[in-house]
């Protein structure tokens, strides 16, 4: 089987922020994303999973052209991001954010919100915009009458449908779904996931589905990448990852129970609530202080990614590469 072309790809992308440590202590580098290469094949759903603070949202901002990487490249259909303006990227890639309560302007009608991208990008004639909005409301399963409503008059699920209509009105190729259901009631979450799945088939979309919750990703993803402290620590097609999880962190995520309150953004991984400080990450494997299978080498040598077919794992339990001194790079 030939591999689908990548609609979107990162090549060894790193994103460093300099975070103030207080008076006289200067700023320290925080590697929010640390050498990530990830392909999102055309027409597929790639799930990006990890706890809050692992770098998922920085990845989303980089892919959307909202954040410039410190090094590495982003490729849109194989072409470097350097050749695209912010507007050109926005026509290809649109986001759906976590919180439909804050992502919709409360002072605008639904028609104004959904048609906003058409206005910004000068798409079609203004006389056509109402018809486009009506069409998008049909597509996302909302009655056309809500066009004259305000966000406060809609339920959480309806607001997220409006956010999806706004994202799709430009007919983007790729949609970055950043925790698209985690602010919604559990009863509505599966409706929105089913809608996203149907729209993918109908419109031939490609998704990056970002979530802290593997159960959400399992519902939709063709391929899954697990992120921890700015690194992809395991990546495989979804069936393989769920049937044969290898990295101890992936296994902990899979063994987790759903959080009682999804808005907390933290799955109950039985790993404790202490997430390592990304400004001062542990040496060696950055997961080692929380890993039940930690070995001596893990404390000093960062593991290299080891590929087994399409299944890649970054852990000393797999392969005998002897690791790398990435902890030096963390702290430069
Ligand atoms: Fe655990 Fe060592 Fe693997 Fe890191 S490299 S996940 S500490 S076994």
The DSSP string of 14-80 is EEEEEEE-STTT-EEEEEEEEEEEEEEETT-EEEEE--TTSSHHHHHHHHTTSS--SEEEEEETTEE
- Which residue, judged by its Cα, is nearest atom 3 of ligand 1? 315
Angle of CA points 146, 107, 152, to nearest 5°: 50
| Whether the Cβ atoms of residue 233 and residue 227 lie closer than 8 Å to each other | yes
CA 167, CA 291: separation in Å to the nearest integer?
Answer: 39
Dihedral, 108, 114, 117, 119 alpha carbons, nearest 10: -70
pTM of full prediction above 0.85: yes
Q: Indicate which residue's Cα is closest to atom 7 of ligand 1.
A: 288
State the closest ligand 1 atom to the C-alpha of 298, by its place in the atom list counted from 1.
2
CA end-to-end span of the chain: 43
pLDDT, residue 160, reads 94
Say if ligand 1 is within 6 A of residue 298 CB: yes
Please report, for the chain, how many H helices and E strands are present, in that order. Answer: 10, 12
Model pLDDT, residue 286: 94
- Which CATH code for domain 6-330? 3.40.50.300
Is 301's C-beta closer than 6 angstroms to any atom of ligand 1? no
pLDDT at 5 (0 to 100): 77
Any ligand 1 atom below 6 A from CB of 221: no
pLDDT of residue 325: 45
Half-sphere exposure of 322 (CA within 13 A, CB side): 0
Closest CA to 232 of 16, 65, 49: 49
Dig out the tokens for 314 from the structure. Answer: 């970054």
232-254 as b/e, with b when 16 or more CB fall inside 10 Å? bbbbbbbebbbeebbbbbbebbb
**Which one, of 89, 42, 102, lies nearest residue 61 by Cα?**
89
pLDDT given at position 158 = 95
State the closest ligand 1 atom to the C-alpha of 294, by its place in the atom list counted from 1: 7
Q: How far is CA 33 from CA 15, 16, 21, 108, 278, in A?
A: 5, 7, 20, 35, 10
d(C-alpha 81, C-alpha 89), whole Å: 8
- Ligand 1, residues 303, 304, 314: which to mutate, most atoms within 8 A of Cβ? 303
What pLDDT, on the 0 to 100 scale, is given for residue 260? 44
Determine which helix (DSSP H) or strand (DSSP E) holds 120, and give its type and residue range.
Answer: helix 110-120
What atom of ligand 1 comes closest to residue 297's alpha carbon?
A: 2
pLDDT at residue 21 in the model: 64
Q: Which of 269, 300, 317, 320 most suits a substitution to test ligand 1, by most atoms within 8 Å of the C-beta?
A: 317
Determine the pLDDT at residue 214.
84
Q: What is the mean pLDDT of each run of 10 residues along the chain (332 residues)?
A: 78 92 73 95 96 90 95 95 90 88 90 95 90 96 97 94 95 94 86 94 96 86 96 96 95 70 52 74 93 94 93 90 44 32
Give the tokens for residue 146.
Answer: 């809500």
Question: Does the C-beta of 322 come closer than 6 Å to ligand 1?
Answer: no
């Amino acid at each position: 089987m030939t591999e689908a072309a990548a609609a979107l790809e990162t090549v060894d992308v790193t994103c460093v922020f300099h975070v103030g440590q207080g008076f006289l202590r200067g700023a320290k580098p925080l590697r929010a994303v640390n050498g990530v290469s990830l392909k999102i094949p055309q027409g597929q759903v790639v799930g990006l999973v990890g706890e809050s603070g692992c770098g998922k949202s920085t990845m989303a901002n980089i892919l959307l052209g909202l954040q410039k990487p410190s090094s590495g490249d982003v490729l849109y259909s194989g072409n470097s991001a350097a050749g695209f303006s912010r507007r050109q990227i926005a026509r290809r890639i649109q986001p759906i954010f976590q919180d439909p309560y804050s992502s919709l302007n409360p002072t605008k009608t639904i028609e104004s919100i959904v048609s906003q991208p058409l206005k910004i990008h000068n798409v079609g004639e203004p006389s056509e915009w109402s018809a486009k909005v009506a069409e998008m409301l049909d597509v996302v399963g909302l009655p056309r009458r809500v066009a004259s409503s305000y966000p406060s008059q809609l339920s959480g699920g309806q607001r997220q449908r409006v956010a999806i209509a706004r994202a799709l009105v430009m007919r983007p190729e790729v949609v970055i779904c950043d925790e698209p259901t985690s602010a919604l009631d559990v009863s509505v979450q599966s409706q929105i996931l089913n809608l996203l799945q149907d729209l993918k088939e109908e419109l031939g979309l490609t998704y990056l589905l970002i979530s802290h919750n593997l159960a959400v990703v399992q519902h939709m993803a063709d391929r899954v990448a697990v992120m921890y402290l700015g690194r992809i620590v395991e990546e495989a097609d979804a069936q393989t990852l769920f049937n044969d999880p290898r990295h101890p962190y992936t296994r902990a995520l899979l063994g987790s129970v759903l959080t009682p309150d999804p808005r907390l953004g933290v799955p109950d991984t039985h790993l404790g609530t202490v997430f390592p400080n990304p400004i001062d990450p542990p040496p060696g494997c950055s997961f080692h202080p929380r890993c039940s299978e930690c070995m001596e080498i893990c404390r000093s040598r960062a593991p290299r990614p080891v590929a087994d077919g399409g299944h890649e794992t970054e852990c000393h339990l797999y392969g005998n590469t002897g690791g790398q001194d990435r902890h030096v790079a963390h702290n430069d």
